[in-house]
Amino acid sequence: QVQLVESGGGLVQPGGSLRLSCAASGRILKINAMGWYRQAPGKQRELVATTTGGGSTNYVDSVKGRFTISRDNAKNTVYLQMNSLKPEDTAVYYCNADVVTVVVETITEREYWGQGTQVTVSS
């Protein structure tokens, strides 16, 4: 069984910073792509940032230059450093990972999601 545990969310003032972490644990053979998504009230979930197994990164235009995604493969952890936060960044942030795992002695790749962590940017 694979679990993704997120941390680092909270309340911050506009212009402030937060660092989100997502640690994967369980029967992990390999993690390929990892990423962060967010969903604001009344809006669809959107991709914020992703990092591939090869280390390439991609960001939604609204966070470019402010957010940085990184990963520590030894810890099976992905991070999202969020700087210069704006009220419109307020959302539930979800971690996502494509994991090569073992299910009933069968090697398979599955997509896992974290439970979500609330980020609120307000003065």
What percent of the chain stands above pLDDT 90? 94
> 11 falls in which pLDDT band (50, 70, 90)?
very high
Interval 77-87 mean pLDDT:
97
Residue 53 is predicted with a pLDDT of 84
Identify which of 87, 112, 81 has the alpha carbon closest to the alpha carbon of residue 99: 112
| Residue 99 pLDDT greater than 90, yes or no | yes
Interval 90-98 mean pLDDT:
98
> 61 falls in which pLDDT band (50, 70, 90)?
very high
Interval 67-93 mean pLDDT:
97
Which 3 state secondary structure label does DSSP give 68? strand
| Residue 54 pLDDT greater than 90, yes or no | no
